[in-house]
Amino acid sequence: MRIVDYGQVAACLTFAVFISASAPAQNSVVGKYNGPGGCASSSCHGSIQPKNITRVAQNEYSIWAGQDKHARAYQVLSNDVSIRIGRILKLQSPPSQNQKCLACHALSVAPEMRAQSFDISDGVSCEHCHGPAAGWLGAHTVKEWETRTADQKAQLGMRDLRDLAVRSHTCLHCHVGTEEQSVDHEMIAAGHPDLTFELNLFSAVMPRHWKDSDDTPWFGTKEWAVGQGMQLRDSLQRLARRARSSTWPEYAELDCFACHHSLTAAKDSWRQEVGYAGRSPGVPAWNSARFVVFRYAAAETNAATAGKLESEMATLSGLMGQLNGDREQIAASADRAAELTHSLAGSLNNRSYDQAFTLQVMRKIAGDSRAISQQGQRAAGQAAMSLDSLFGVYQQHAKNLDAAEMKAAIGGLFQQLDDPSAYNAPRFAAQMQKVSELLSAEKGSR
């Protein structure tokens, strides 16, 4: 393993020591947040060009500050949309000072957790994901650091983001929400975007300021699979929480476009044509987007547990498809499904990945075009993002497929999602059928 070159980090180290020296009593404490300034020097993580002195490219700060929306997450709270959200929700203080918004848009930690260099306007910064740096800032620049275990690093406050379960759960704190911070239909109706996620794609869009390890073959497939499992688990826990809360029913748990689609003449309605399986006509369905693709990764990994999850999800979906479903039963079913999903996500985090798995899962998803498309626009969106991510991984490793044709076919899926209120399931399914045909022509089947 190539470790840090001492000469190169000397300046960086001096800088780190300088920061701690500037407020010794505060900064030496594990658990305090310094803010990104401490990472910004060009000899630390603020290089403009990637360096190849160590395993770390040292341009992470520049990527974050220049390209990553997280760096501007706090500024967003002062734009017109946010001001209007605040007005509609009758917030007592402006969004940029309100915990309801700061919880996800800034590092809104208690005053005693803030070091002197901390500045709330830095938005979603390094320590939000990597953990409070005061306990490891100095230590992580010296040679011995790489010999420490993830547990030892965690004791100093650094989060083990190389573990994909930890990584996705970190993102989902804000991209699905927790008990303390959430985006509900009230906020969406006031103007907040709906929260959707797919770890592999969102990491690429961020964009990544890291290189994932080369020693895990088909790492991208793993990232997708574990990310799917964690987002299903976390969203089931959210559903259970909400069903037990005072604000139930929560429309954001349902298929948005069951309510928000445009009406057509009866003869043109694909919804009437398809019918309302498992619920009374006109009752909005549960949003099962986070299950429709995950189920295939699960089935490939542990058929018995995946089978139990299938039947629990059928129960949950039935309960959610009643106009006045029993809240306690909904919450209990969501809890059981979350448990099963947790176990499956663990298996997915421990198994190995290869070409056959990647191709098989892509084929299963694309082959399920009818059922997935009928689950609504958000489910179709998960299928499109997943096929896009998995094909990206596939292409890196195996170049048999006609990339241009596949990219065009997957691009066609996204086009079908552009105008959500006009989403048309049969048209989406037909496009997915094209992807399916291209995949079945691929060699390497099993």
Q: Is 258 in the site for ligand HEC (CB under 6 A)?
A: yes
Query: 183 with 192: CB under 8 angstroms?
Result: yes
Query: 90 with 192: CB under 8 angstroms?
Result: no
The contacts of residue 436 (CB under 8 Å, 6+ apart) are 363, 366, 367, 369
Scanning residues 90 to 109, which ones bind ligand HEC (CB under 6 A)? 95, 100-101, 103-105
Taking the least distance from each CB to ligand HEC, the nearer of 36 and 367 is 36
Listed residue (174, 323, 155) closest to 251, CA to CA: 323
Q: Is 254 in the site for ligand HEC (CB under 6 A)?
A: yes
CA distances from 163 to 35, 58, 135, 220, 329 (A): 24, 21, 21, 13, 33
Q: What is the number of other CB atoms lying within 10 angstroms of the CB of residue 376?
A: 27
CB of 310 to ligand HEC, least distance (A): 24
The correct pick among 12, 33, 34, 61 for binding ligand HEC (CB under 6 A) is: 61
Q: Is 128 in the site for ligand HEC (CB under 6 A)?
A: yes
Q: Is 284 in the site for ligand HEC (CB under 6 A)?
A: yes
Q: CA Rg, the chain, in Å? A: 23
Query: 118 with 38: CB under 8 angstroms?
Result: no
CB of 260 to ligand HEC, least distance (A): 5
Query: 195 with 250: CB under 8 angstroms?
Result: no
Query: Encoding tokens for residue 38?
Result: 């401490």
Taking the least distance from each CB to ligand HEC, the nearer of 130 and 295 is 130
Give the span between the Cα atoms of 334 and 240, in whole angstroms. Answer: 5
Total residues at interface with ligand HEC (CB under 6 A)? 66
Query: Segment contacting ligand HEC (CB under 6 A): 5-13, 134-142, 248-256, 307-315?
Result: 248-256
The correct pick among 260, 314, 354, 437 for binding ligand HEC (CB under 6 A) is: 260
CB of 254 to ligand HEC, least distance (A): 4
Looking up tokens 């309960």 gives: 319
Q: Is 171 in the site for ligand HEC (CB under 6 A)?
A: yes
Query: Encoding tokens for residue 242?
Result: 């909400």
Query: Segment contacting ligand HEC (CB under 6 A): 196-204, 326-334, 360-368, 407-415?
Result: 196-204
- In the complex, the residues that contact ligand HEC under the rule CB under 6 A are 36, 39, 45, 55-56, 60-61, 64, 69-70, 72-73, 76-77, 81-82, 85-86, 89, 95, 100-101, 103-105, 124-126, 128-130, 161-162, 167, 170-171, 173-175, 177, 181-183, 185, 187-189, 192-196, 202-203, 205-206, 209-210, 251-252, 254, 256, 258-260, 284
